[in-house]
Amino acid sequence: MKILTGALALTSVMSASAAAQFGEPVYHYEGRMAADVETGFVDLDWRISVLDPEAESVTFLLAPSLRNIAVSGDIAGFETGEQGPFQAIVIALAPSGGAVRTIELGYDGVLFPEPPNNEINAVAPDRVELSVDGFWLPVDASFQGYLTADLRVDVGAPWLGVANGTVEPLPTGARIRNDDASLDIAFTLAPDFRVTEADGFTLYDLRDTEAGTDRLIEAARFCFNYLDPLYGENSPLPEAHFVIHRRGESAYNRRSYITLTDISDTEDQPLTQFLCHELAHHWSMGANFNTVENWLNESFADQAGNMAVRERFGEAAFIERMNRYRARIEGQDLPPIWVPGAAERPPYMVSYLAGPVALWELEVRIGRPRFAEFMRRYMTDPVNTTPDLLDMLEEIAGRVDRDWFEDRLGRATP
């Protein structure tokens, strides 16, 4: 293990088989962003290549605080409006003639006039941290607009960076490149990190303490050694980049870029579960995250984390954890996990608690060997909708258990 300081060029690698499950890019974003970290003001200019020659229009969503929207390029026209809490830019494209069309898009403004509720996105003196849920970049309103990207970020100083792609230090910021298709350009830039390299992963710590670092490294090593043999035959876990923030809540994963809350006082069991959950998203993230199918992404990753707790700490620890999940959803007025025709993205308690409980009940019903095969097939095959999942379950366990599980998904509580 090495302790490093200074600027680093970071590379995130994904195998071709892993990239395939996330879809082919339909856009390439080239952008420049100037960010005033004292005021929170951002100024962005994009050149967006539309790679689908048959596309006739595109709708982008932006944060409501952004202003001075300008659109040009290979377009027939555009209009702006509202879509829910966001600004919508509806762009009619010029005929393609089989060629790639480009959209020039610019805007500026104070991105977050009020601090975001989730503590994740920030343009501040201690860091610039942005992800798709900040709607700082033009987001395809279908939430299926996979993209590659080349973005230069100017913060006025040589800050260090970590991202869901590669990061090249620049004199006043960083260049971020995403060569693999993604729904996001997610990154953290900061004046300094404490950097710890370990086998298979690197920690980037924004805290003023090293508390919990050794336990984090031990848990991460366990998760790599547990998950990869189960699910990584075709797409092994890539080199991971963990960013440890000062905040007490809100963490997320973007492939090999994983953010964590302050883990100083986090106990070993929840730390193991969280890390294994986030690493399992390397495989469990193909379903449309803005629809009912997001329960697949989150419930399967979470249950992989719970099963890792069982492997590391024993059966009693696993049962205790699952019973806590069950107790938290008992008596709650929650929508079903999934029913035919449902569309709305399920709330947190459904995806992160009710879904894992249903998977636990399925394991008890069909037995661990068949459930292990069910988990493996979900993680390694392109199963991104619940009907496809139920068909796969029928192949493994039979029609009776398929029908039972479909019925079970029709309610959030046992």
Q: Which two tokens stand for residue 71?
A: 């659109």
Contacts for 327 with CB less than 8 Å, ≥ 6 apart: none
Which amino acid is located at 352 in the chain? Y
d(CA 102, CA 104): 7
Question: Do 215 and 300 touch, CB atoms closer than 8 A?
Answer: no
- Helix, strand and coil content of the chain, in percent to the nearest 5, comes to 30, 30, 40
Question: Do 177 and 164 touch, CB atoms closer than 8 A?
Answer: no
**Angle subtended at Cα 345 by Cα 343 and Cα 349, rounded to the nearest 5 degrees:** 135
Query: So what's the pLDDT on residue 13?
Result: 27
CA atoms within 13 A on the CB side of 311: 19
Per-residue pLDDT of the chain (414 residues; tens, 9 = 90+): 323 322 222 222 222 233 334 468 999 999 999 999 999 999 999 999 999 999 999 999 999 999 999 999 999 999 999 999 999 999 999 999 999 999 999 999 999 999 887 788 999 999 999 999 999 999 999 988 999 999 999 999 999 999 999 999 999 999 999 999 999 999 999 999 999 999 899 999 999 999 999 999 999 999 999 999 999 999 999 999 999 999 988 888 887 899 999 999 999 999 999 999 999 999 998 898 889 999 999 999 999 999 999 999 999 999 999 999 999 999 999 999 999 999 999 999 999 999 999 999 999 999 999 999 999 999 999 899 999 999 999 999 999 999 999 999 999 998
d(CA 308, CA 202): 21
Query: So what's the pLDDT on residue 23?
Result: 66
d(CA 293, CA 61): 21
Q: Rounded to a whole number, what is the distance in angstroms from the first to the last CA of the chain?
A: 46
Contacts for 63 with CB less than 8 Å, ≥ 6 apart: 86, 87, 111, 112, 134, 135, 136
Contacts for 413 with CB less than 8 Å, ≥ 6 apart: 329, 330, 331, 332, 334, 354
**Angle subtended at Cα 168 by Cα 141 and Cα 217, rounded to the nearest 5 degrees:** 85
Q: Which two tokens stand for residue 19?
A: 């990239």
pTM: 0.84
Question: Do 51 and 75 touch, CB atoms closer than 8 A?
Answer: no
Between 355-366 and 315-329, two packed helices, what is the crossing angle to 10 degrees?
A: 130
SS3 of residue 188 by DSSP: strand
Query: So what's the pLDDT on residue 222?
Result: 98
In 192-333, which residue ranges form alpha helices assigned H by DSSP?
213-231, 268-280, 294-313, 315-329
d(CA 151, CA 265): 36
d(CA 68, CA 111): 13
Query: So what's the pLDDT on residue 270?
Result: 96
Q: How many CB atoms lie within 10 A of CB 87?
A: 19
Q: Which two tokens stand for residue 348?
A: 């947190």
Nearest to 184 by CA among 167, 203, 165: 165
d(CA 229, CA 149): 32
The secondary structure of 74-100 as a DSSP string is SEEEEEEEEETTEEEEEEEEPP-TTSP
Which amino acid is located at 397 in the chain? A
Question: Do 128 and 245 touch, CB atoms closer than 8 A?
Answer: no
| Residue bearing tokens 């031990």 | 218
